[in-house]
Amino acid sequence: MRIIDLSHPISPDMPLWPGTPQPKFSDLCTIGRDGFGERWLQLSSHTGTHLDAPAHLVEGAASLDGLPANHFAGKGVMLDLREIQNGPVSLARLLTSRARIEQAEFLLLHSGWSRFWGSDEYSRGYPVLSPDAAAWLAGLGLKGIGIDAPSFDPADSEALPIHRALLGAGLVLIENLTALGQLSGSSFLFSALPLPIAGAEACPVRAVALLLRQQ
């Protein structure tokens, strides 16, 4: 079985959504001084490749510790949307792959936007789902949706309607994925396990795809 890492590494100088504080790492103990290593980590719950739980935007909805571990793993399908350069991803575009999407537990949207990771362009102009596309996906019973872009809503959105439609249906959302092109033509299991932090609305994850076979 081949495992594909779909995550960006976390470091103090990594790219972040505007306004998100930079991660800070410091040594509590070192092998040379104390005989063992231990680090103090400070970072936003939305740092890097991360997973949003319904509690991110829905009052009283499930937080990370309130969801079972099997909610973060399942059969994945990758949809290649790199041909969409402007405008939202329409419902009509999704319906061209309806049979594949309806067989999945996780849908991964390959926009190609991860190529801009580390540049100012990454945080603006990325493709998002149209409202009717999001509404259709919200009714399929998926566990979650992932994208290789920084958000499911436009950068200037304050109401965050796409987030709300999907999180309100109980899905989890994985943002800032990378390397989705390596999944082309493959059957795979997807996993994005967060720490079960009490009351947490989001958490960085090590998202991976476990390739089963070529289609």
Q: Which residues are catalytic?
A: 56
* Structure confidence by residue, pLDDT tens digits, 43-54: 999 999 999 999
DSSP string, 54-123: GGGTSTT---GGGS-GGGGEEEEEEEE-TT--SS-B-HHHHHTTHHHHHT-SEEEEE-SGGGGTTSGGGG
Asked if 166 contacts 12 with a C-beta cutoff of 8 angstroms, the reply is no
Domain range list for the chain: 2-15+44-214
CA distances from 139 to 8, 54, 75, 108, 169 (A): 30, 15, 17, 17, 7
To the question of pTM greater than 0.85 for the whole model, the response is yes
3-class secondary structure, 169: coil
3-class secondary structure, 132: helix
* Structure confidence by residue, pLDDT tens digits, 197-212: 999 999 999 999 999 9
- Residue 211: the pLDDT is 96
Q: What percent of the chain has pLDDT over 70?
A: 99
CATH 3.50.30.50 is right for the domain spanning 2-15+44-214: yes
How far, in Å, CA of 80 to CA of 92, rounded? 14
Q: What H or E segment, with its residue span, contains residue 161? A: helix 161-168
Closest of 165, 169, 179 to residue 208, by C-alpha: 179
- Residue 129: the pLDDT is 98
Residue given tokens 């909805």 in the structure block: 61
* Structure confidence by residue, pLDDT tens digits, 74-109: 999 999 999 987 779 999 999 999 999 999 999 999
For the chain, 215 residues long, give each residue's pLDDT as a single digit of tens: 899 999 999 999 999 999 999 999 999 999 999 999 999 999 999 999 999 999 999 999 999 999 999 999 999 999 999 998 777 999 999 999 999 999 999 999 999 999 999 999 999 999 999 999 999 999 999 999 999 999 999 999 999 999 999 999 999 999 999 999 999 999 999 999 999 999 999 999 999 999 997 65
Asked if 207 contacts 146 with a C-beta cutoff of 8 angstroms, the reply is yes
Other Cβ atoms within 10 Å of 175 Cβ, number = 23
Residue given tokens 């994850």 in the structure block: 205
